[in-house]
Structure 1
Amino acid sequence: MSANPYESERLLAEYLLFHYGSPEEILPAGAPAGMRDALDFAVRTTRHFSLGGVDRTLDLGCAVGRSTYELSRDSAETLGIDFSSSFVRAAAAIADGPQAYQRLDEAHRRTELLARLPAGSHFKGVFFETGDAMDLRADLGDFDRVHAANLLCRLTEPRKLLERLPTLVRPGGELVLATPCTWLGEFTPPENWPAGSTLEWLKEALGADFELIKVADEPFLIRETARKFQWTSSMVTTWRRRLTSAAADAPASLP
């Protein structure tokens, strides 16, 4: 892609609402239960990690940061990385106080809203930076937890990230990948799509270094206008980094 489609003011506002909006700000009157069940996706995906505190956590494709802040509840240091500089600026700014944005209702009609962290939140050790998930800086180090929600099928070369993951997740650490498997040529060239199912593709790519712990589905809802919503189901896979790779454990072949 020649330009980043996530730098527009409209998408920034959509994602601020998606991450921080209240049910009253997102849902239409009389919304069916399924719409309400799809709220708080950026929070729900973080709950697929095991309970307990850790040292370092990485949130790849963090967007405007709600998942990063949630992950920091159980992590001494949490780093959020996103390709969109406007998303990263918004994510960092919310730590300093509520941030104003405009929700699109229809045509020229907009509603002023505030994106804010949950009341009573005391987040610490949270950092944000702009970065490319396919070309992360070499000195990131490793992490106890790596979270990447709705990122893989928006990368031009997703295998580059999959190949980097074993160096990012510490042995015994956990990885949570969420993807709606909506492979589109405008983001990922068809030759880089999985040949079969996304789940089998992930097992093939990660199986030597990670043990698959759980597969689940998490719906999510993005409000575009007062009468238009995206309802999607994301496949969430939870993995544990092997203490040694499966390839290293395999018996040597006979001459």
Structure 2
Amino acid sequence: VAAAVGAGIGALGCLLLSKGKKGSLAIRSTTASGSMVYEGSRAVDEYLQFHFASADELAPLVGKFLAPEVLQFPTLCAKECSKSAQKKGRCLDIGCAVGGAVFEMARDFQEVVGFDFSAAFIEAANDMRKNGSRSYERLVEGEIMEKKVAKVPPGIDRGRCKFIVGDACNMPALNLGKFDSVLAANLMCRVPDPQKFLGDMKDLVNEGGTFVLVSPFSWLPEYTDKEKWVGGYKDSGGRPVFTEGQVARALGAHFLLVETKQ
């Protein structure tokens, strides 16, 4: 996981769009994380390490030669939300996993809601919210495991955070309300209906609010039927259809493209 994140940071692409006249939407592309069994204890342990471990723990061989934030992907996402949001009222993390970005966003936002389809992830996130820590096992090598403790960083008001189980393709059923910033990291190409997911965004983001979308664009039929891919395929004429442009078009009626970064 750490190696994929480190490689992805060096290859980020970014589109900035605004809702109405003031907001912005950032689309960032990272490398793929691969298939995961999101309800298993191993997945929970790996994500606790990914979200809360230090750079040295995440990448002991290269961590000392990289800036810490390079290996702290949830923190990078949270900072993007905080930087781009004009108001710091409510924030939403769609596909929050074990909550690393949610806690980081609580430094700046008054209320942060995180939801995930995995009940195991949400159980772990709520443990972190209640107790400030949770034990997990880190894989050292082969069958060798090491007991560790994930901790919410000091200075964060955990009472600002809320975690619930939810479906990114059925968000209206959650009655979430609207937000000044919405984050969806490494999620879009892992849902069965990404067009539905994107279509619901206009009802979640306040006028002038921001939507930060992070995706490796690693479409796989195991997660999304090919006919529902937003991009990553060739059209009937053999021309490549790229996700970045298709996302911008899908959101174009409600979001304005401000900037593209690579």
**TM-score, normalised via structure 1 length:** 0.78
**Counterpart of 1:146 in 2: which secondary structure?**
strand
Give the corresponding residue for 1:167.
Answer: 203
| Whole-Å separation in 2 of the counterparts to 1:124 and 1:31 | 32
Give the corresponding residue for 2:48.
Answer: 16
Amino acid at match of 2:135: A
| Whole-Å separation in 2 of the counterparts to 1:184 and 1:171 | 33
In the TM superposition, what is the alpha-carbon distance from 1:144 to its structure 2 partner? 1.0
Instruction: Judging by fraction of residues, say which structure has more helix.
Output: 2
* Pairing 1:56-135 to 2, within 5 Å after superposition: 56-95=90-129, 96-135=131-170
- Unpaired segments ≥5 residues, structure 1: 218-255
| Whole-Å separation in 2 of the counterparts to 1:18 and 1:43 | 11
Give the corresponding residue for 1:235.
Answer: none
- Gap change, CA 1:86 and 1:173, over 3 Å in 2: same
In the TM superposition, what is the alpha-carbon distance from 1:210 to its structure 2 partner? 0.7
Amino acid at match of 2:154: A
In the TM superposition, what is the alpha-carbon distance from 1:151 to its structure 2 partner? 0.5
Say if 2:212 is the partner of 1:180.
Answer: no
| Whole-Å separation in 2 of the counterparts to 1:149 and 1:19 | 13
| Whole-Å separation in 2 of the counterparts to 1:181 and 1:59 | 19
* Aligned residue pairs, count: 214
**Counterpart of 1:69 in 2: which secondary structure?**
helix
In the TM superposition, what is the alpha-carbon distance from 1:97 to its structure 2 partner? 2.5
- Higher RCO (CA 8 Å, separation ≥ 6 residues): 2
In the TM superposition, what is the alpha-carbon distance from 1:29 to its structure 2 partner? 3.2
Calculate the aligned-residue CA RMSD, in Å: 2.0
In the TM superposition, what is the alpha-carbon distance from 1:35 to its structure 2 partner? 9.0
Amino acid at match of 2:59: L
Contact 2:85 2:209 (C-alpha < 8 Å) held by counterparts: no
Give the corresponding residue for 2:30.
Answer: none
| Whole-Å separation in 1 of the counterparts to 2:259 and 2:103 | 23
| Whole-Å separation in 2 of the counterparts to 1:69 and 1:29 | 27
**TM-score, normalised via structure 2 length:** 0.76
| Whole-Å separation in 2 of the counterparts to 1:175 and 1:51 | 9
**What per-residue deviation string (whole Å, max 9, x for no partner) do you get for residues 114-164 of structure 1?**
010113333332100000000122521111111111100111111111010
Give the corresponding residue for 1:141.
Answer: 177
- Gap change, CA 1:125 and 1:207, over 3 Å in 2: same
- Unpaired segments ≥5 residues, structure 2: 1-35, 234-240
Quick check: which has more Rg, 1 or 2?
Answer: 1
